[in-house]
Chains A and B, each alone.
Chain A
């Protein structure tokens, strides 16, 4: 029991420590080695994001959310952002995630729906499941800033 509590306490401390860090610098997750190359570098990412945004507006759960979005701009922003997160040579210059979603009604269900569309798109681009999870691990913590309706 003591051991268990110690573990739980340790986990809590680590958790809060990491949370505090993420307040300072958005999402400090170390990208898996080789991820950027596995995603097809910038060209592969752009192609992936072009399909991703098309699939987003085609999804009945998300269509309304993206009806006024300039898809080409969104794909370009996402490419730069993910390229940078995956340790590629790009620099994302867009707004931070909190600002970008401040005026939107994003529920947890919609966030998850977006993850599903990304998974389906990555499947279509033959990105291996283990690489998909490495990318999702970089993006998942954004839920704290992206989800605006709890």
Chain B
């Protein structure tokens, strides 16, 4: 329960839920100012970009379609055996063409912080994102196989923390920029959405353990990591699906050089999710996540599985 007591922004979480509830209750009386169809802007990923929960899609966030401006805000909490992650963020959608996003992650290092002599250590990361829809229409071009395609970047910077000396020893930087291309296609007649994203990144565990590593001659180059999502529409306001986000095992060699064996090993992130959008202005996503091993040296090699809950408001 120590994870819960260390939550960041508990007031903000309550506010978001309250706002989500208000929006839900008021929705039947309100008419949308923005014109996207339900669920067609996805949900908010943990890095702030619109997409699935773990990976960005080619869709542009917010309710804004062509000729409109829109904004969305979200709060996400994920909790595994040994760790907790809270994220809050906003995204602006411009003419269904450009998306700008900002997210703040707060990672509770739990048992690992304690093992490092840093009990209560939280890692805070800010992510500034931009996405540009290059071509296609994921929803309406139902007579072609052409997907919606977008390119994006996510600039991540990790706050200075008690982990700095460890990151320095590993030769990992505290900031980095991911570049990605996403292709998203809704097979409308079948109600199936597919997304593929290819990310070029130096990030270790999405940047929470820094970017790259040099210790022991570790690989310090950009690596390509494919990510996939599939979703099935049960109703116009309800979707279920699964995601897979590959993750390069970049800290492996640095961990070995530091005498930790496979103690810094990382593996792919996966989830199965259900997303519900009671109206145009809100959505709730619940997922079961499997984040693989995160610093197994301090977690008895446990797989980090657990729940993920995210609420989004969108206008």
Asked if B143 and A27 sit within 8 Å, CB to CB, the answer is yes
Asked if B37 and A116 sit within 8 Å, CB to CB, the answer is yes
Q: How large, as a class, is the contact surface on chain A? A: 35 or more
Q: How large, as a class, is the contact surface on chain B? A: 35 or more
Asked if B146 and A133 sit within 8 Å, CB to CB, the answer is no
Closest chain A CB from B192 CB (angstroms): 10
A129: chain B residues at CB < 8 Å are 191, 233-236
If A108-B35, A113-B35, A143-B140 touch, does A4 touch B196 (CB 8 Å cutoff)? yes
Closest chain A CB from B39 CB (angstroms): 12
Asked if A143 and B66 sit within 8 Å, CB to CB, the answer is no
Q: Mark A127-148, 1 if CB is under 8 A from B, else 0.
A: 0011011101110110100010
Asked if A14 and B139 sit within 8 Å, CB to CB, the answer is no
Q: Mark B94-105, 1 if CB is under 8 A from A, else 0.
A: 001000000000
If A8-B149, A29-B142 touch, does A109 touch B189 (CB 8 Å cutoff)? no
Chain B residue at minimum C-beta to C-beta distance from A15: B146
Closest chain A CB from B94 CB (angstroms): 14
Asked if A32 and B183 sit within 8 Å, CB to CB, the answer is no
A60: chain B residues at CB < 8 Å are 31
Asked if A133 and B233 sit within 8 Å, CB to CB, the answer is yes
CB neighbors of A among B123-149 (8 A): 136-137, 139-147, 149
Q: Is A69 interfacial (CB-CB < 8 Å)?
A: no
Chain B residue at minimum C-beta to C-beta distance from A29: B143
Asked if A112 and B236 sit within 8 Å, CB to CB, the answer is no
* CA gap between A137 and B196 in the complex, in Å: 22
A147: chain B residues at CB < 8 Å are 66
Checking A12, A108, A132 against B146 with a beta-carbon cut-off of 8 angstroms, the contacting residue is A12
Checking B31, B67, B139 against A107 with a beta-carbon cut-off of 8 angstroms, the contacting residue is B67
Asked if B143 and A22 sit within 8 Å, CB to CB, the answer is yes
CB neighbors of A among B186-242 (8 A): 188-191, 196, 198, 224, 226, 233-236
Asked if A11 and B188 sit within 8 Å, CB to CB, the answer is no
* CA gap between A134 and B226 in the complex, in Å: 31
Asked if B183 and A19 sit within 8 Å, CB to CB, the answer is no
Asked if A109 and B137 sit within 8 Å, CB to CB, the answer is no
Asked if B35 and A15 sit within 8 Å, CB to CB, the answer is no
Closest chain B CB from A134 CB (angstroms): 5
A141: chain B residues at CB < 8 Å are 140-144
Asked if A14 and B144 sit within 8 Å, CB to CB, the answer is yes
The 27 listed contacts between A and B (C-beta, < 8 Å) are A1-B224, A4-B196, A4-B198, A8-B149, A8-B181, A11-B147, A11-B183, A14-B144, A14-B145, A14-B146, A15-B145, A16-B146, A19-B144, A22-B143, A22-B144, A32-B189, A60-B31, A107-B67, A108-B65, A108-B96, A109-B67, A112-B65, A133-B191, A140-B143, A141-B143, A149-B67, A150-B66
For the A-B complex with A19-B144, A61-B31, A109-B68 known, give 10 more contacts whose Cβ atoms are closer than 8 Å: A1-B198, A11-B183, A11-B185, A19-B146, A129-B236, A132-B236, A137-B188, A140-B139, A141-B142, A143-B140
